[in-house]
Amino acid sequence: MATTFLNPFTVEGNKSIAYEIIESLEEKVPDVIVIPLGAGPLLAGIWWGFKDLYKLGLIKNLPRLIGVQAEACSPIAKAFVESSIVQPWRKEYKTTASGIADSMDGYSAEGDLVIDIVKESRGFITTVTENEIKESVYALAQLEGIYAEPSGAVTVKAIQKMRAQGWIEPGDCVVSIVTGNGLKDNVSENKHDQSIPTVESYSELVSLIKKKQCISVNR
């Protein structure tokens, strides 16, 4: 129940993400928020949180929302693109993003609600492939030091795709919602190199850090 609309406390609690975003950005409203999308209560809660702030006069505009589903199981994205109602996903599927793989069987109308919200925000719903999901996990780990589960990392590649398609423009303030720790669902496979890299000297370490442009180093 924690990740469906059956639990009203979860949906209301998700509103607090909107409040924290505004606090973190010092009351600036992001242009775009990219959100992992299963059944949709997370996306809905964030949107309703921003609408609460707007109604109270605490913000002057609302963000566009982009929902992201795994291509292998994407009933809401399919309906959005086809301008149809959401139908339960009947195809067999296998995806590393199991946390957002929701067939919507028995509650597909909730998907229609999510589509209405995304349209109201002037947003979009997209999908990512299995390779793109893995690339997102590795990019977060390598570039930001964030170990995310596949379901939470889908937003990274989605941002690149949406920018390429013109939905995100240069200069836009974009917030990526990363929802889960990698310890919950490890994407690593034996075929990948899992050797531990070594650094031979302090100067080599400094060179690597500067190359990543992540922190300054003072000896």
**pLDDT of res. 3:** 61
- For 124, the token pair is 């979009």
Average pLDDT estimate for 139-150: 92
The dihedral region occupied by 186, where left means phi > 0, alpha psi between -120 and 50, and beta the remainder, is: beta
**pLDDT of res. 2:** 47
Which residues are CB-neighbours of 177 under 8 A, at least 6 positions away? 17, 33, 34, 35, 36, 42, 46, 152, 155
Task: Tell me: pLDDT of 155 over 70.
Answer: yes
**Sorting pLDDT into bands at 50, 70 and 90, what band is 212?**
low
State pLDDT tens for residues 57-106. 999 999 999 999 999 999 999 999 999 999 999 999 999 999 999 999 99
Task: Tell me: pLDDT of 118 over 80.
Answer: yes
Strand partners, 70: 128
Task: Tell me: pLDDT of 1 over 70.
Answer: no
Percent of the chain surpassing pLDDT 90: 76
Q: pTM here?
A: 0.83
Task: Tell me: pLDDT of 6 over 60.
Answer: yes
**pLDDT of res. 134:** 94
Percent of the chain surpassing pLDDT 70: 90
**pLDDT of res. 4:** 72
Q: Kindly list the structural domains of the chain, giving each domain's residue range(s) and its CATH number in brackets, ordered by start.
A: 8-212 (3.40.50.1100)
**pLDDT of res. 219:** 46
Q: Which residue has the higher pLDDT, 170 or 3?
A: 170
**pLDDT of res. 188:** 56
**Sorting pLDDT into bands at 50, 70 and 90, what band is 192?**
low
